[in-house]
């Protein structure tokens, strides 16, 4: 009898460095839920990574719990996907060290996450510098085939491929090469336009203003679970031009359109374009966006509240996920340690 082919393995993580937003949903979480139907899925809360920005134990714990409840409320199913907290599998730190020893400083210096900080005159910590090696260890410890991420993370996956190749060149075929799996919505716009250091709008080749990426670090997010007044405030805060009612508006130069479009099918998008030509006013579109957010996420809000009210359940889920994850990472570490000559030699 032939064995069924092993299912491809998918792995991804999200940092608990703030409340999760529409960028995280469309760029990451939506795929996490879809992929668990057919693939061998590993998802985790990247709390070691978050230490590069959050150094406050209560905030880190609160965000970690919030991310866990958000994943589960939106449909990540711990029966089908392995779901854990990164720091419960400390093997990844050991693999980070092994990878750093085969990685040139030049590679780490080219990371956007590092270069951006340097460009902003922020003196990065050693942890931020080594961040791509920790991310590579997360991926390589689990023999990952695919990493579903938004566009901003693709460079990190390419660096992971380089680190795996360097390790294997030194010690033989120990680590498995992963591929990025880009989300169909790789870059969700934030509530504002991108500007350069002089405050001028950044423009694409066609001269159009470019939205800034929605990100916890830019304070331009709409949170997945915002509701009521907070949701109104977030959507109300999306930058728009001043236009008189009835004056035609350009959907392709409008952040509210770009965000609302994420929730619409083709026919609805065409209809909305029509309303723009008629000059419907931004207020109407903002109301539509709020309605769409309520419709999509409303049914999951209660589930999230229940999960947050039951920390013991959340911890149980994370602990059993960590036990499963740890066994896999341990096996990879044993291979990597042996290949590199660490620890006692195998008995003769």
Q: Which of 9, 10, 11, 27 binds ligand ADP (CB under 6 A)?
A: 27
Q: Is 213 a catalytic residue?
A: yes
Q: Which of 10, 15, 67, 285 binds ligand ADP (CB under 6 A)?
A: 15
Which has the closest alpha carbon to 239: 279, 211, 275, 272?
211
Choose the contact partner of 159 out of ligand ADP, ligand TRP, none; CB within 5 to 8 A by kind. Answer: none
Measured over the CA atoms of residue 110, residue 116, residue 118 and residue 123, the dihedral's sign is negative
321 contributes a contact to ligand TRP by CB under 6 A: no
CB of 331 to ligand ADP, least distance (A): 26
Nearby residues of 88 by Cβ (< 8 Å), 6 or more positions away: 318, 319, 322, 325, 326
Q: Is 229 a catalytic residue?
A: no
Q: Which stretch binds ligand ADP (CB under 6 A): 59-67, 131-139, 146-154, 274-282?
A: 146-154
CB of 232 to ligand ADP, least distance (A): 21
- Give the DSSP H/E element, type plus range, for residue 45: strand 40-45
Cβ-based nearer residue to ligand ADP, 188 or 333? 188
* Residue 26 DSSP label: I
Q: Which residue in 8, 117, 151, 232 is the catalytic one? A: 117
- Report CA-CA distances (Å) from 267 to 249, 253, 264, 274, 279: 19, 20, 8, 11, 19
For residues 13-32, which are near ligand TRP according to CB under 6 A?
13-15
- Give the DSSP H/E element, type plus range, for residue 256: helix 255-261
Q: Do 136 and 99 touch, CB atoms closer than 8 A?
A: yes
CB of 80 to ligand ADP, least distance (A): 20
Cβ-based nearer residue to ligand TRP, 214 or 231? 214
First to last CA, the chain: 36
CB of 116 to ligand TRP, least distance (A): 13
Choose the contact partner of 216 out of ligand ADP, ligand TRP, none; CB within 5 to 8 A by kind. Answer: ligand ADP
Give the start-end residues of each E strand in 64-187. Answer: 81-85, 146-149, 179-182
Number of residues forming the site for ligand TRP (CB under 6 A) = 13
- Report CA-CA distances (Å) from 186 to 22, 27, 151: 12, 6, 5
Residues binding ligand ADP (CB under 6 A):
14-15, 17, 23-24, 27-28, 149-150, 152-153, 186-188, 213-217
Q: Which residues are known catalytic residues?
A: 117, 213, 216
């Amino acid at each position: 009898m032939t064995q069924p082919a092993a299912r491809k393995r998918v792995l991804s993580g999200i940092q608990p460095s703030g409340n999760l937003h529409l960028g995280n949903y469309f760029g990451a979480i939506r795929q996490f839920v879809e992929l668990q139907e057919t693939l061998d899925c590993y998802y985790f809360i990247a709390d070691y990574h978050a230490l590069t920005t959050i150094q406050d134990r209560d905030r880190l714990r609160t965000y970690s719990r919030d991310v866990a409840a958000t994943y589960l409320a939106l449909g990540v199913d711990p029966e089908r996907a392995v779901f854990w907290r990164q720091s419960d599998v400390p093997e990844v730190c050991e693999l980070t060290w092994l990878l750093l020893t085969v990685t040139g400083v030049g590679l780490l210096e080219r990371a956007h996450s590092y270069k951006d900080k340097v460009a902003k005159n922020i003196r990065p910590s050693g942890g931020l510098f080594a961040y791509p090696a920790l991310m590579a260890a997360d991926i390589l410890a689990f023999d990952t085939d695919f990493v579903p991420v938004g566009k901003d993370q693709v460079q990190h996956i390419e660096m992971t491929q380089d680190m795996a190749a360097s390790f294997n060149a030194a010690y033989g075929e120990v680590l498995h090469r992963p591929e990025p799996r880009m989300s169909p919505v790789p870059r969700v716009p934030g509530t504002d336009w991108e500007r350069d250091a002089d405050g001028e709008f950044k423009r694409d080749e066609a001269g159009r203003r470019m939205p800034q990426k929605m990100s916890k670090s830019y304070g331009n997010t709409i949170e997945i679970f915002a509701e009521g007044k907070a949701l109104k405030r977030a959507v109300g805060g999306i930058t728009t031009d001043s236009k008189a009612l009835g004056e035609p508006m350009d959907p392709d130069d409008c952040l509210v359109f770009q965000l609302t479009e994420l929730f619409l099918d083709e026919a609805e998008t065409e209809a909305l374009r029509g309303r723009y030509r008629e000059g419907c006013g931004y207020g109407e579109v903002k109301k539509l966006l709020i309605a769409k957010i309520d419709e999509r996420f409303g049914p999951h809000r209660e589930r999230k509240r229940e999960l947050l009210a039951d920390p013991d359940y959340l911890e149980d889920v994370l602990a059993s996920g960590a036990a499963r994850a740890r066994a896999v990472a341990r096996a990879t570490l044993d291979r990597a340690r042996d290949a590199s000559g660490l620890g006692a030699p195998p008995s003769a």
